[in-house]
Amino acid sequence: MTATAHKGKLAQMRQRWSDMPKQVRWAGLAALVAFFYILPNRWFYEYLGFPIGSEYFAFYTTRSDFAAVLFDTAVFVLLAVGLNVVVGFTGLLDLGYFGFYAVGAYTVALLTSPASRLDLTWPWLAAVPVAIVVTMISGVILGTPTLRLRGDYLAIVTLGFAEMIRLYAARNDGLLQGQRGIPEVQHPPGPMVDGRPLFGVVDSKPYYWLILTVIIVIIFAMRNLERSRVGRAWVAIREDEDAAEIMGVPTFKYKLWAFAIGAAVGGLTGAIFAGKQTFINSDSFLLESSILVLAAVILGGAGGIKGAIIGGALTWYLPEWFRGFGQIIGLDFDTAEYRILIFGLIIIVMMIFRPQGLVPNRRRAAEFADRRKEAVPQETVPSE
């Protein structure tokens, strides 16, 4: 199938979906949401029998708790949706997004753990809003002096921010207690029917359901933002910041909003992560993870929420999917050691043959098409 035919088929599918009655579309979305809520139940994914974790096939995620894998995948999806505000909507290159994730996680740990140096025991639910506000403030503090930079210079500054957070967290005599970390972080509240805590250490399903609910809420909020005046200003900045400023768009203000909103989503994700892990240290916030989140946004298709979701899910789940793959193809070595290498090769191939991403935003796809036309040398017509 040629690229033109593929695009035409996708356009037909979008049009067919748009032509459906509103009730049918809502019913389809509700069925999809119900599918993801049921997914971590073992009886369900074993009944389905396709590559999502069945133990009957060695190349499915056999060496991990499938609910825990789904939670980690959902964490990456939420981070990709938050980073998409900065990279996809506004067109800013941010290499230090994991720094906001770390700020949110450490804020919850400091406020809820009796083993922290603040010696506070706030409930997890009370600490989450504080974590969101602290990460938003950190985004504003970082963005105010640096958002006048563009391109590679902004990327270097954001990278330095994430590394400063990590290096300070690694200091054993600091507030964040270095490699010893902060244990005894409190779980989210909620009892089961028999009175036991819903959020514990053994079962990861409640945490997955919690973060899935948060993802749904964030997606609705992002869609409204994308269609609002703020979203249109972000698109104008992404396409041509100078032209947007000439037309009266306060570019610095809207870029600062994008940084603050993206930071808030990252901080919320970190708060949920800390509540599940109950222990965090600097090893949880490495530079490689920050690069992976950026790769997720680009892989799925920067500028679109669907692309960020798909990119985030594939970025985390594909390496897990490759665990034990060697047993299927008859190799003696453990392919789990090479799963990141295989995933990296997939990303390289994607960037060569589909730089706009798997599910590109329509406007972004049009921008790539225009750039491709500009890159093709034009034939000169000889003068008579």
pLDDT at 263: 92
Q: Phi first, then psi: give them for residue 144, nearest 5 degrees.
A: -55, -50
pLDDT at 56: 37
Instruction: Tell whether 11 is covered by a domain.
Output: no
Total structural domains in the chain? Answer: 1
pLDDT at 169: 85
Instruction: Tell whether 127 is covered by a domain.
Output: yes
* Positions of the chain with pLDDT under 70: 1-15, 17-19, 48-64, 322-339, 362-384
pLDDT at 53: 43
pTM of the model: 0.85
Instruction: Tell whether 376 is covered by a domain.
Output: no
Q: What are 182's strand-pairing partners? A: 280
pLDDT at 315: 82
Contact 366, 346 (CB under 8 A): no
Amino acid at 150: R
Instruction: Tell whether 182 is covered by a domain.
Output: yes
pLDDT at 282: 83
Interhelix angle 151-169/124-146, nearest 10 degrees: 140
pLDDT at 88: 86
Instruction: Tell whether 16 is covered by a domain.
Output: no
Domain interval for residue 284: 71-359
Summarised one tens digit per residue, pLDDT across range 136-172 is 999 999 888 888 887 788 888 888 888 888 888 887 7
Amino acid at 260: A
Contact 95, 291 (CB under 8 A): yes
Q: How many C-alpha atoms does 230 have within 13 Å on its Cβ side?
A: 16
Instruction: Tell whether 301 is covered by a domain.
Output: yes
Q: Please give the structure tokens belonging to residue 279.
A: 């222990």
pLDDT at 328: 56
Q: What are 280's strand-pairing partners? A: 182
In sequence order, what are the residues at sequence separation of 6 or more whose Cβ sits closer than 8 angstroms to the Cβ of residue 19? none
Q: What is the dihedral of CA 84, 88, 93, 94, to 10 degrees?
A: -10
**Total Cβ atoms within 10 A of residue 64:** 14
Contact 301, 360 (CB under 8 A): yes
Q: Indicate the average pLDDT of the chain.
A: 80
Instruction: Tell whether 328 is covered by a domain.
Output: yes
Instruction: Tell whether 20 is covered by a domain.
Output: no
Cα 285 to its chain centre, rounded Å, is 14
